[in-house]
């Protein structure tokens, strides 16, 4: 029997009352230049349960083109969203996990996957029309009861994030208040400056593709969302950047793929096999 949480109308499944120890932090914030690039991180370990995770899973997977959400597509024998939550749930730093799902998928999650949701300590919340609406809903859900001082936002559609990259981005955020995983742009970049008849080459030396997780001090992310006011933003880091706060870039593995098209699943199977082999 799944109960609605009385205090939070949008929370679909209450957490299993996990005991989240010691959220206190004493580390000073380090000075950073804007968009500071972190190739390496000092070996710090955020305390157990100090980072709550928001998983954005409320999209429709329209580009994937399946009859159901791409998040239910099978990757190595299980739905890809389970790969995603399993990787995060296994981390000692992770406290609560709130996953935003769409109204049309909510029943499927609750009816078909309640055991797995319980196993991985996942609370469900109804997301919104835009990804930022879904993150906002999860933020509100976190606020309804005890929550950690740090929040990591991760796409459900990125099931391949590596443990070593989670360590790096968690540790960097813990030191610097805001950090995101990125991967260097490898393609030659062109900008159209004349209705597709004239181009300039954009140096790619300082260009990176933004990945997730994106990890923030909770107060900072909440402030960014308060100031959001519906202005379009491509990721959570952009909202934080608008507050004038530095966001550290942590170079992660490029195989932290976002499943978008069916062919991405073939690649994901191969990456997963390789990751398992090297584990």
- Summarize as ranges the residues that interact with ligand CTP (CB under 6 A): 56-64, 100, 127-131, 134, 155-157, 258, 260
Write each residue from 45 to 84 as x if it is in contact with Mg ion (CB under 5 A), else as -, in one continuous string.
Answer: --------------x-------------------------
Residue 258 contact partner, candidates Mg ion, ligand CTP, none, CB within 5 to 8 A by sort of partner: ligand CTP
**Token representation of residue 209:** 């593709």
Count CB neighbours of 272 within 10 A. Answer: 17
Beta carbon of residue 135, minimum distance to ligand CTP (angstroms, whole number): 7
Site for Mg ion in 156-175 (CB under 5 A): none
Choice between 57 and 117, CB closer to ligand CTP: 57
CB of 59 to Mg ion, least distance (A): 5
Q: How many residues bind Mg ion (CB under 5 A)?
A: 1
Q: Nearest CA to 157 among 29, 259, 238?
A: 259
Residue with smaller CB distance to ligand CTP, 50 or 136: 136
Closer to ligand CTP by CB, 63 or 274: give it. 63
């Amino acid at each position: 029997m799944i109960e609605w949480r009385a205090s939070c109308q949008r929370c679909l499944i209450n957490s299993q009352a996990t005991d989240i120890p010691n959220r206190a932090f004493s580390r000073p914030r380090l000075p950073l230049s804007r968009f500071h690039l972190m190739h390496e991180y000092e070996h710090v370990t955020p305390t157990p349960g100090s980072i709550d995770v928001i998983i954005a899973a409320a999209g429709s997977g329209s580009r994937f083109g399946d009859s159901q959400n791409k998040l239910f597509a099978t990757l190595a024998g299980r739905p890809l969203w389970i790969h995603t939550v399993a990787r995060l749930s296994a981390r000692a730093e992770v406290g609560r996990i709130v996953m935003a799902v769409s109204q049309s998928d909510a029943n499927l999650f609750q009816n078909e996957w309640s055991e797995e949701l319980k196993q991985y300590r996942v609370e469900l919340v109804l997301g919104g029309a835009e990804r930022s609406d879904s993150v906002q809903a999860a933020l509100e859900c976190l606020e309804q009861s005890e929550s950690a001082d740090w929040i990591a936002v991760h796409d459900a559609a990125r099931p391949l994030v590596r443990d070593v990259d989670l360590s790096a981005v968690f540790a960097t955020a813990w030191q610097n208040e805001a950090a995101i995983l990125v991967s260097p742009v490898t393609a030659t970049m062109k900008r159209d400056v004349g209705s597709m008849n004239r181009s300039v080459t954009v140096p790619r030396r300082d260009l990176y593709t933004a990945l997730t997780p994106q990890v923030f001090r909770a107060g900072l992310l909440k402030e960014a969302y308060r100031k959001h006011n519906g202005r379009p933003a491509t990721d959570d880091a952009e909202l934080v950047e608008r507050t004038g706060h530095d966001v550290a870039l942590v170079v992660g593995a490029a195989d932290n793929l976002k499943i978008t098209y069916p062919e991405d699943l073939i690649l994901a199977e191969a990456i997963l096999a390789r990751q398992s082999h090297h584990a």
